């Protein structure tokens, strides 16, 4: 397998677009928190309480299907979308990703973007703005070019004509 070229063939500077919440008395910019939990079970929730992010992009949650999101997020405050890694032979879960969206925003998982990579994709419909697509991606440290190829597949599936804005956060574990 050859070296994976991570340099873009071309790039541009997008027009600045400000996403604002309109749920409140006044419009305020969205707060986005990207966090590598390395086990959400061992983390204190002060960061969530103090920053009150609208969007949380999380990697390495170490959660599995037997652990409820409500153990970490108040369901009245956040809608949580997760992709958990199956437990290992010693019944431990590593990796895994999540996107948590404040319940003040209308959101839904985009299942058409799912691949075999550790990623989760969510669409947020914003008032007076483009659709916002938020993704969380984790590539394990053991190099696997298939994971990056699967991420590219997800990105290629995004409808270019929809004029959506994409926020992708994650832990790419790239050896650059």
Residues 6+ apart with CB under 8 A from 174: 6, 139
User: What does each C-alpha distance from 167 to 13, 26, 113, 164 come to in angstroms?
Assistant: 15, 24, 14, 10
Asked whether residue 92 is assigned to any structural domain, the reply reads yes
The CATH number of the domain holding residue 29 is 3.60.10.10
Overall average pLDDT of the 140-153 stretch = 84
Range of the domain at 143: 24-171
Cβ atoms of residues 60 and 82 within 8 Å: no
Asked whether residue 10 is assigned to any structural domain, the reply reads no
Model confidence pLDDT, tens digit, residues 62-107? 888 887 888 888 777 899 999 998 777 676 678 899 999 999 999 9
Asked whether residue 98 is assigned to any structural domain, the reply reads yes
Asked whether residue 106 is assigned to any structural domain, the reply reads yes
Asked whether residue 50 is assigned to any structural domain, the reply reads yes
On the question of pLDDT at 8 being above 60, the answer is: no
The rounded mean pLDDT for the chain is 80
Overall average pLDDT of the 113-135 stretch = 90
Asked whether residue 157 is assigned to any structural domain, the reply reads yes
State the pLDDT at residue 25: 57
Question: By three-state DSSP, how is residue 108 classified?
Answer: strand
Asked whether residue 148 is assigned to any structural domain, the reply reads yes
Number of domains in the chain: 1
Asked whether residue 14 is assigned to any structural domain, the reply reads no
């Amino acid at each position: 397998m050859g070296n994976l070229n991570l340099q873009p063939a071309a790039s541009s500077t997008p027009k600045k677009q400000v996403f604002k919440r309109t749920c409140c008395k006044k419009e305020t910019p969205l707060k986005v928190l990207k966090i590598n939990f390395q086990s959400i079970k061992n983390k204190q929730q002060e960061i969530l309480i103090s920053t009150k992010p609208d969007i949380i992009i999380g990697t390495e949650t170490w959660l599995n299907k037997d652990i409820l999101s409500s153990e970490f997020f108040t369901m009245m405050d956040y809608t949580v979308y997760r992709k958990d890694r199956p437990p290992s032979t010693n019944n431990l879960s590593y990796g895994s990703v999540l996107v948590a969206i404040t319940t003040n925003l209308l959101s839904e998982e985009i299942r058409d973007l799912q691949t075999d990579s550790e990623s989760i994709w969510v669409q947020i419909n914003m008032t007076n703005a483009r659709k916002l697509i938020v993704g969380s991606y984790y590539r394990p440290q053991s190099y696997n070019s298939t994971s990056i190829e699967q991420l590219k597949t997800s990105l290629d599936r995004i409808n270019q004509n929809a004029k959506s804005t994409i926020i992708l956060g994650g832990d790419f574990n790239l050896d650059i």
